[in-house]
Amino acid sequence: MIIKILGPGCRNCRNLEKNTREALASLGIDAGIEAVTDYAQIAGYGLMQTPGLVVDGQLVLAGKVPSTEELTTILSSR
């Protein structure tokens, strides 16, 4: 599983990364997380509002920071 956090590195981006790491740990998934801060790359995913979450090349979340529980549900369905 390849995970990317899209955004400028703001507090919401950091919170999304933290919650994503917690969700991955609860699922027992060992996946690296890449922070993408380059606006050209972010725009390439069609993201209009940060932060964004990309899983295996697909944008699955945009513009919000879901709870660890919500992320667990999202990631377990992948």
Active site residues: 10, 13
- Give 24's Cβ-side CA count (13 Å radius): 15
Residue whose tokens read 């991955």: 24
- Vertex 22 angle, CA 21 and 25, to 5°: 85
Cα–chain-centroid distance for residue 2? 10
Spatial separation of the C-alpha atoms in residues 33 and 64, rounded to whole Å = 17
